[in-house]
Every structure is written in C-alpha cells, then in structure tokens.
Amino acid sequence: MNTMIQRSRLAAVVATCVGLLLAVPGRGNERASTSSWRDDPAWHDGPAEWTEYEAHRSIYGVDRSYDATIFTNKQRMDPRTTTKASDWRAPDTIEVFKHNVSEMIPTEHYTYRFLTTCFVRTDTLEVFKLAASTQEDCGTTSHEFVVRDGRVEANESCYFPGTGRVSSTFDAPSGLMFHDALSLRLRDYPFDDAAHPQWTVTLVPDQTDTHAVSPRPASATVSYVGRERIRVPYGEVDCHHLRVSHAPDGGVGSSDYWFAADRALLHVMVRYEGPYGVRYALKHRGWWAYWDRTQPRPN
C-alpha cells in the first residue's frame, strides 16, 4: 500500500512539473503544443484562436494606425457549395482552417473595411477558397478564388471605372500559394530543419486593395532569415524570421514574417511587414468563441 501511495505521489509531482514546464508565464489562456501545431488538440476545444495586432496601412499616402484581428478555427466545408457544411459528419466534406482577417481603418472622411477569409485545407495547407472584400463609402470591391480539380476559378468585382466584373479560370500551378494566406501557411515552415530550405512557390498577389488586382500568380521564394527575439505590444517573443521575395506588389518586392518559436504559441504570427505599407505587431492572443454572444471579448 505504501509503495502504491509513493508511486501516486510521484506521478502527481511529475505531472505538476510537466505542467509547469509547458505553461507560458503570464499567459493563462495559452495552450501547450504536444504535436504539430495544426494537429494540436486546441483546435478541437471549441473556441477559435483570436489574435489582435497593432496595425498600420497606407491610405491616400498617409500611414494609418488601427487594430487588426485574425480569427482561426477548424471547420468543415461543402465542396459543392464552397460554404460551411450543413452536416459536418458528411463523408465528402473538406476540413479546413478558416483564417479570417478583419481590418477597420479610419480616415479623415470615412472608414475603410477590409475582410479577407482564407479556407485552407488542414491536411495540405493548400487554399480551397479565398474571399476578400474592401469597402469604403465610395464603393465595394471583392475578389474570390476557388481551387479544385487542379483548376483555379477567379472572380472579381471592382467599382472603379473601366473595371467591373471579371471572371477567369486557369490551371493551378505547382506550389500555388496565396499571399493573403501566408500568415497561416508559413506557420508550417520546417523551422527545426537546420538546413532551413528555401521554397520556390507560385504566389497569387495580395488582394487587399480597393482597386482591381491581378489574380495571376507569379514565382516567389520563401527564405529563412534567422531567429530573433523581438519586442511587440504582446511582449518579448522569440521568433523565426521568414522573407518572401515576390513580384512587385503594393509598392514592395518582398514581405517579412515573424512566427513564434515557442511551440506553446503554435507558431502564431507575431509580426508582419508587406504590401501597401501594412505592418502588424501582436498585441493579444487567446481562445474565444467570438460567435457566442454569451462570451465576452477577452482582455
């Protein structure tokens, strides 16, 4: 009996120590990863990953300051309608990460509203669907892509004169990626590989513009810059720095991403600098069922 009690006490001590090792100091709502970030049990706990960023974007040639929010959660998609499946247990549904980027940017006259939703397959991290809309009080521009059966269906509606509605279909090239999904897709870079391979990809440009944007992809490379400890409003974070060199887009020819090195943070994007003078710096991260009106917004 004494031996059993000793073993029980030892197991309790070990469990406590493991819990302390996995915990993130001062971050009670974080969850420690025990496997690949995309297979972590946290994605099946109910709430979505909620991140808020101190953000900047250039509009009318002026640097605008605002807050950007990204919600990421798993859901099932109906491949026929390309919408959320009415029956998630149906055998032909597609499991995706829904990666929703929301921006509200005030200017002197009115507020710009950008909403970009990427539906990324959980098994391959290939985009199944991407929908982006930009709104301001003069009009609305929207972009939609659906990738299936080796083809890309692209649709755009732009309110500016000489544009209008445009649809096109083209073969999905090898290594196809979408700039607007890289904040999720690049979390899967092999950070632990000492060789830090360079990826050659085919990249669809950033779609967050009120004007017409080309849907056609072009060659780009993803390179590992190094491991850096950076300070953002969230605090000091140990990060992996990646650089994407791409065709001229939104005034720049490259975009930089910093992803958390700590596995407990599931390699979340901590900082970003890219087209259109956009810069993100992480302020908050947690887990929130934002669709549930009984749950208050996290502090």
DSSP 59-103: ETTEEEEEEEEEEEEEEEEETTTTEE-S-TT-TT-EEEEEEEEEE
Bridge partners, residue 293, by sequence: none
Q: What angle do CA 58, 60, 65 make, to 5 degrees?
A: 40
Length in residues, the chain: 299
Q: Which residues of the chain have pLDDT under 50?
A: 1-34
- Cα 252 to chain centroid, rounded: 20
pLDDT of residue 12: 40
2 C-beta neighbours (distance < 10 Å), count: 6
pLDDT of residue 26: 31
pLDDT of residue 88: 86
Bridge partners, residue 133, by sequence: 115, 142
pLDDT of residue 297: 86
Q: The tokens 């208050």 sit on which residue? A: 296
CA distance 189 to 43: 19
CA distance 147 to 171: 9
End-to-end CA distance of the chain: 48
pLDDT of residue 36: 87
pLDDT of residue 136: 93
Q: If you average pLDDT over every residue of the chain, what do you get?
A: 89
| Exposure string for 110-139, b = 16+ CB within 10 A, e = fewer | eebebbbbbbbeeeebbbbbbbbbbbbeee
CA distance 287 to 28: 11
Token pair belonging to 208: 């967050």
CA distance 57 to 111: 13
Q: Domain-by-domain residue ranges, the chain?
A: 34-288
At 107, the amino acid letter reads T
pLDDT tens digits along 175-200: 999 999 999 999 999 999 999 999 99
DSSP conformation class of 17: H
